[in-house]
């Protein structure tokens, strides 16, 4: 029998990489590892490789402590009750399949599943920018735009696990369509892929949002226009979310959010300009402090919860 603090074994599955970690109840990542997802090899193949990765990470965790539960954060849409995917755009071919039986059997633990952005929102309320908050939204602005919603301390998942798709709010009617086909949604005009599409429409040559941000920083006029348009659309979307949810905080993460750091004051001002009068004194927006670990940490919260343990950051001071 091992002694020490209780630990959980978690994973985060994205379209590009799968990560596994052992985490303690204070949100410390004790051991971690990453492999490529290669979703085109199919869910069964990925589940087998992830089971091996999680087993290795668990074996390599060099602290005393018992792993009491396991959970997985994943790109979705996914039904948290079954772990079954529903036409996941970044995990093509995984529709209607679940990793849960494979992982549970390999690990000898029940495996809980959550949508990555929802779990990231949960992580922010325990370890991140919104510790102790009960009403928080997490918006990831990356290749696509996703969201997680915490209301009264609980994740909002919707009837089929499909809630939180804030990227598909229509903010530019008549505008370009996203990959899912909705015209003028936030993702189509303010995500990394939306930025690249705008570059192409203008006949320009940058092949990533990062390239556009770099050119804008050097004063390129077209790049600046694209960035300004991105910020304006995001502000419209954020103002709508503030009006609907009255959150204590909206936390933004993802690569495009990082690129927008120099324009943060503009984003706040433009959001305030279109938000309800109750935001005249300022808008509750923050950038994530959890970097790329929000999904893993959110999975840890879920796993500890299943074991009856409340995970949260150690008191500071």
139-168 binders of Zn ion (CB under 5 A) = 168
Q: Which is nearer to Zn ion, 181 or 308 (CB)?
A: 181
45-104 binders of Zn ion (CB under 5 A) = none
234 interacts with Zn ion by CB under 5 A: no
Q: Which is nearer to Zn ion, 27 or 254 (CB)?
A: 254
Q: What is the dihedral of CA 16, 21, 24, 27, to 10 degrees?
A: -20
Q: How many residues bind Zn ion (CB under 5 A)?
A: 6
Query: What is the closest distance, in whole angstroms, from the C-beta atom of residue 148 to Zn ion in the complex?
Result: 17
Query: What is the closest distance, in whole angstroms, from the C-beta atom of residue 207 to Zn ion in the complex?
Result: 22
- For residue 207, give the nearest of 229, 188, 223 by alpha carbon: 223
Give the Cα separation of 256 and 190 in Å (integer): 9
Q: Which residue has the tokens 């991140």?
A: 128
Burial of 60-88, coded b for 16+ CB within 10 Å and e otherwise, reads ebeeebebbbbbbbbbbbbbbeebbbeeb
Q: Which is nearer to Zn ion, 148 or 298 (CB)?
A: 148
Give the Cα separation of 196 and 93 in Å (integer): 25
214 interacts with Zn ion by CB under 5 A: no
Query: What is the closest distance, in whole angstroms, from the C-beta atom of residue 175 to Zn ion in the complex?
Result: 10
Give the Cα separation of 173 and 184 in Å (integer): 5
- Of 28, 30, 107, 182, the one binding Zn ion (CB under 5 A) is 182
Give the Cα separation of 35 and 46 in Å (integer): 10
Cα 240 to its chain centre, rounded Å, is 19
- Of 178, 209, 227, 252, the one binding Zn ion (CB under 5 A) is 178
185 interacts with Zn ion by CB under 5 A: yes
Q: Which is nearer to Zn ion, 6 or 184 (CB)?
A: 184
Q: Which is nearer to Zn ion, 61 or 178 (CB)?
A: 178
Return residues touching Zn ion (CB under 5 A): 168, 178, 180, 182, 185, 187
């Amino acid at each position: 029998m091992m002694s020490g603090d209780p630990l959980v074994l978690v994973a985060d599955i994205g379209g590009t990489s799968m990560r596994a970690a052992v985490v303690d109840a204070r949100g410390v990542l004790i051991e971690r590892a990453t492999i490529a997802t290669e979703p085109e090899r199919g869910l069964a193949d990925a589940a087998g490789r992830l089971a091996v990765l999680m087993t290795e990470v668990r074996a390599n965790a060099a602290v005393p402590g018992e792993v009491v539960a396991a959970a997985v954060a994943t790109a979705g849409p996914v039904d948290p009750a079954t772990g079954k995917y529903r036409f996941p755009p970044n995990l093509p071919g995984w529709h209607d399949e679940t990793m849960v039986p494979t992982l549970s059997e390999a690990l000898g633990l029940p495996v809980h599943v959550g949508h990555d952005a929802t779990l990231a929102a949960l992580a922010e309320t325990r370890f991140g920018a919104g510790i102790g908050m009960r009403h928080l939204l997490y918006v990831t602005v990356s290749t696509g735009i996703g969201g997680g919603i915490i209301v009264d301390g609980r994740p909002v998942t919707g009837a089929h696990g499909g809630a939180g798709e804030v990227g598909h709010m229509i903010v530019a009617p008549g505008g370009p369509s996203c990959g899912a086909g909705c015209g003028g949604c936030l993702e189509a005009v303010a995500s990394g892929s939306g930025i690249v599409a705008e570059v192409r429409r203008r006949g320009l040559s940058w092949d990533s949002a990062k390239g556009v941000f770099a050119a804008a920083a050097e004063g390129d006029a077209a790049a600046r226009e694209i960035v300004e348009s991105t910020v304006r659309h995001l502000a419209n979307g954020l103002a709508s979310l503030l009006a609907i949810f009255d959150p204590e905080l909206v936390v933004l993460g993802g690569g495009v959010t990082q690129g927008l750091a120099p324009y943060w004051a503009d984003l706040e001002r433009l959001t305030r300009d279109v938000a309800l009068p109750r935001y005249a004194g300022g808008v509750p927006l923050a950038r994530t402090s959890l970097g790329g670990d929000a999904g893993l940490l959110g999975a840890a919260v879920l796993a500890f919860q299943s074991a009856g343990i409340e995970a949260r950051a150690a008191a500071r001071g």
